[in-house]
Structure 1
Amino acid sequence: MTAPRALRGLLLLGRDPVYAVHLPMFGPPYDFQAILRVTPSTPTYDSARSRFGTSAVFTVRPETEVLLKDLEPGAEFPGELYFGRFDRDGDSLGPLSVRVSHLVHARPLDAPDTDPPDSGLTGADPTDPAYVVFGDEDRLFLTRRLTVPPDFDQTLTALVVDGEVREGWTVTLPGRRGDLMSRPRPGEQITTADGTQLQILAEVYLETDDLAR
């Protein structure tokens, strides 16, 4: 029997609102992508984010088992906040509980065909790299939609130059290779399949080792 999918750790982004992105792996029980709008329990994160800026890496390690199926609005769980990666050389900033306000996106990695009809992927070329968009036009984030191992996790900040975006929508980048060296980079302007133009500001997060196999 397969173990239920559970949170491994979260990357925190933004200030108002605050978003949490699951740090996945391809093996169970961490084999899913999820983006949540959340409310931290203390001002520690907001103060640290204000001090270190938009591109600093902050992560949360849950202190109890948190299952994907339980990530509903109002759910709350205790954790520990880190400046940097919680499982590497990050510095602990103390306890912090996370309350879920809204589930923006969730997708098991072994079920690529489960996207709803309004996901933005209708008619998209499955070989084109894809990114889930969240935030708003003034503070936009893009997280790479994972495919099969080996792959890489990437989260970017961007501005809308022309067109519209919708929170939770998946945008594809036609004609672009999906390998690490061809990934979108800061300073680049990209055009999505629907013609929306985005200016990449910063690469907040990049991870290869977790998704190598």
Structure 2
Amino acid sequence: MHDHDDHPETFNVHGMLLFGEDPLYFSHLPMFRHPAHRFQALMEVDFRGDVREAVRSDLKAAADGVHTFVPEPFDILELDPAGGGPARTSVKGTVVRGHFERGGVPIAEDVTARVVRVIHFERLDPTLRHDERRTLTYLCFGRPGGLHLAHEITARPDFDQVLAVRMVPPGEGFERPVPVTFDRPDASRRRLVAGDTMDGMFDLGVSRTGEHRFTARVEVVREIYMETGDLD
């Protein structure tokens, strides 16, 4: 692991949104104003068996609420798959029902979250200005029956949003996030919300046979998290 003296600007308490069921996921809670937190990061995580079941049980009991994870300080660059240094494989901390900085209640303390894999890692540039004429874009990931959309954060002011969704009719899952665009401006007031059903354009990228895209109908089951204040 990196010594925090190597990257003092990125060594900090990196709060995470905790969501999902099988698997569980972390989404780093980004902030443009703080150099340590100018990152969008999504990762699949796991806990020891008894902790995992307690976490899943609480997530179900508070299905409409938010859960977060507050880790011990670490260098977030250790999560970068392209970082070239030793990769971080676990983080120790506390599972919180609610937002850990906004009155959340600890439900599992001094537990270790194993980082199964980092599925998205992007450094955010605070000097860029957001263009609301950009097409509304999310990153789709998860297994069939357990899909999620995370809004792709690009430039300030922006918004951090995670949704539980399903394809209509049921479709495939995505181990790696797939960009999906919707025919709306990329603005928080035009974001997808619970109950929306819209066609999205899924971009699987380019291979030797050309571009691979398809259109599928997406239904938003619920909004798991939404934040604008930290991304102004």
Fold shared, TM-score > 0.5 on shorter chain: yes
Equivalent residue number for residue 198 of structure 2: 190
The answer (yes or no) to whether the contact 2:148–2:163 under 8 Å persists in 1 is yes
* Residue segments in structure 2 that go unaligned for 5+ positions in a row: 1-6, 82-86, 127-132, 202-213
TM-score (norm 1): 0.83
Once residues 181 and 127 of structure 1 are traced to their aligned partners in structure 2, the CA distance between those partners, rounded to angstroms, is: 14
What corresponds to 2:144 in structure 1? 137
Identical aligned residues as a percent:
31
SS of equivalent to 1:106: strand
Gap change, CA 1:6 and 1:127, over 3 Å in 2: farther
Indicate how the Cα distance of structure 1 residues 69 and 6 shifts in structure 2: closer, same or farther if over 3 A, else same.
farther
Aligned Cα RMSD in Å?
Answer: 2.3
Matched, 1:105 2:105: no
Query: Contact (CA 8 Å) 2:13, 2:71: kept in 1 or not?
Result: yes
Q: Give matches, 1:34-113, under 5 Å.
A: 34-41=41-48, 42=51, 43-53=53-63, 55-70=64-79, 75-95=89-109, 96-110=111-125
Decide whether aligned partners of structure 1 residues 5 and 164 sit closer, same or farther in structure 2, where only a CA change above 3 A counts.
farther
TM-score, length-scaled by structure 2: 0.76
CA contact (8 A) 1:189 1:197 kept: yes
Alignment partners' CA distance in 2, 1:151 and 1:70: 23
User: Does the CA contact (< 8 Å) of 1:6 and 1:68 recur in 2?
Assistant: no
**How many positions carry a matched residue from both structures?**
196
* Correspondence for 1:181: 189
Q: Residue deviations 1:39-63, cap 9 Å, x none?
A: 023243122123222x421100112
Q: Which amino acid aligns with 1:191?
A: D
Q: Distance in 2 between matches of 1:180 and 1:136?
A: 26
Structure showing the higher strand proportion among its residues? 2
Summarize the Cα distance change of 1:93–1:71 in structure 2 as closer, same or farther, 3 Å threshold. Answer: farther
Deviation sequence 1:39-96 (CA, Å, 0-9, x none): 023243122123222x421100112324232466771121111111011111111312
SS at match of 2:102: coil
Gaps of 5+ in 1: 112-125
The residue identity in structure 2 corresponding to 1:25 is: M
3-state SS of paired residue (1:46): helix
Instruction: State the secondary structure of the residue aligned to 1:169.
Output: strand
The letter for the 1-side match of 2:54 is T
Shift of 1:6: 5.6
2:20 aligns with 14
Deviations 1:172-197 (A, max 9, x none): 11x31111211111111121123121
3-state SS in 2 of match to 1:210: helix
